Chains A and B, each alone.
Chain A
């Protein structure tokens, strides 16, 4: 078996004096598509921040197989200042990070790539729009373009389906499946019913992490993982609807 591109070992992490993650272990392989589920406050976002290097764990090890691994990141839309004066094209280009010299003019190849990504995600002709003029769903697509323009080996998405209209949601998962052939994907969602049909494996985060090496989840399984998740069902997308449950006993 190939080596994990990202290895989390015995991670203890949190904020100030409050520990959120306890003894978390996770291996991410090159073609993984991991759905991260769990209750609010269970540590999903904390786990992402540790992976992204935004939060240093109290203890434990985060190891990348290749220290130069490029990570694409799609944050929650809520964390963004929507009145910031920046246009769509600039947001997408910001995904290039430090890869290019800033004082050089933009090469046309990069611009072409940005426009191609916009077209792919239904944003044609919007390059000059201010970020604040977009709907929540359009903003999500812009952030997806920004996350993948640098051809990451690992794509990390925090609740990408919030605000996304149902039509695009299907497209979104289609695009993600295609991207998955080239990169590992870690996707956080509260919407377990929808994601379970698209992801390959599932990690349930509720203080600690339970890894489930398949995308079929059952009530019993969630119970044994101590993972109370609210299940929301949606119309047109194939999904499993699971009973709501409470297992704090």
Chain B
């Protein structure tokens, strides 16, 4: 027990905890939107394409986050543009950007002289190396996102639900689509620090699946997803520390466990009634 309390005194763990909290807030909200719009596959494409930006940033000696954000935003807009304007099948344009991004990243890393540190951290997440600057960025983005949800919830909801009708009713549908695509891209890139490219989507989908067991309204799914994500990631983080296992994987395990238990309880309750 003292071990457990001591843990919260370490500044690296406090940082990790804050990062998990803020990332869960971002992922809970944005993930609810992604799942509602059925764009999980698009998000996978954006996530993996961002690896190209990370590799290129390493090669050029730039901050990796900037490279990842640039690639993520460009691929998000590219997918919107490719399907809307060029009439490319959406799944094809996603697959092209997904693998092209990874390929650029691999080539860039290969060409970078010497050892590339932290590359594993980008693939699998490295929450214990989060520094105060990362936290400030996460906090600022959380605030922007919360303000955005409060002000633009309805037009975004209406556009996601029925974009043709939204267009007829006079909403700037194209603008809303591009803005939400950029928001999703930035949110994913920020969450990569905690969860890593390969695992990040879990935080955007598993809490939402849990919330969806109880609620059928986007607003409710958003806040319950945030709660589940916060609970799951803190529990996962603590477990990771004590079992000495990678934190990202531990968080996914916890989130899935929460989903499975909740689903079982719900099924039993339904069966009884």
Contact = CB atoms under 8 A, between A and B. Distances in A.
Interface of A (DSSP majority class)? mixed
22 contacts: A16-B87, A71-B168, A80-B161, A81-B161, A84-B161, A85-B36, A85-B212, A85-B215, A87-B216, A94-B154, A94-B157, A94-B161, A94-B166, A95-B169, A97-B171, A98-B171, A99-B170, A102-B153, A102-B154, A128-B217, A132-B216, A146-B165
Interface string B192-220: 00000000000000000000100111100
7 tightest Cβ-Cβ pairs between the two chains A and B: A97-B169, A130-B216, A94-B158, A98-B170, A97-B170, A103-B151, A85-B218
A91 B168 contact: no
A76 to B, nearest CB: 10
A86 interface: yes
A86 B164 contact: no
Contact of A85 (B87, B154, B171, B221): B221
A150 B169 contact: yes
Contacts of A99: 170
Interface of A: 16, 52-54, 71, 73, 75, 79-81, 84-87, 90-91, 93-99, 102-103, 128, 130, 132-133, 146, 150
Interface string B38-68: 1000000000000000000000000000000
A130 B169 CA distance: 22
Given A85-B218, A86-B218, A130-B217, A75 B165 contact: yes
A91 to B, nearest CB: 7
Contacts, number: 77
Contact of B216 (A16, A73, A80, A133): A133
Contacts of B36: 84-85
B152 interface: yes
Given A81-B38, A85-B216, A87-B216, A54 B162 contact: no
A234 B14 CA distance: 70
B155 interface: yes
B155 A85 contact: no
B32 to A, nearest CB: 8
B116 interface: no
Contacts of B215: 85
B116 to A, nearest CB: 42
A80 to B, nearest CB: 6
B133 interface: no
A52 B168 CA distance: 6
B118 interface: no
Interface string B115-157: 0000000000000000000000000000000000011111101
A86 B168 contact: no
A192 B215 CA distance: 41
